[in-house]
Amino acid sequence: METRRLRLFFGLPLPPDTREALGCWQRSFTGLEGWSRPEGLHLTLAFLGSRPVEALPALEALAGTVATRHRAFDLDSTGLGTFSSGGSTRLLWLGVAPCRALEDLAADLRGALEGTGEAMDPKPFRAHLTLARFRQARRLADFADPPTLRFPAERLVLFESQPQSRYTPLRAWNLRRV
pLDDT class of 1 with cuts at 50, 70, 90? low
Residue 174: CB atoms within 10 Å: 11
Identify the pLDDT of residue 49: 96
Give, in words, the CATH class of 5-174. alpha beta
* Residues paired with 47 in a beta bridge: 9
Give, as one character, the DSSP assignment of residue 87: S
pLDDT of residue 178: 61
Q: Which residues contact 171 (CB under 8 A, 6 or more apart)?
A: 56, 60, 63, 157, 158
Question: What pLDDT, in 10s, does the model give residues 41-100?
Answer: 999 999 999 999 999 999 999 999 999 999 999 999 999 999 887 777 899 999 999 999
pLDDT of residue 30: 85
**Mean pLDDT throughout 96-124?**
97
Residue ranges covered by each domain of the chain: 5-174
Distance of CA 21 to the CA centre of its chain: 17
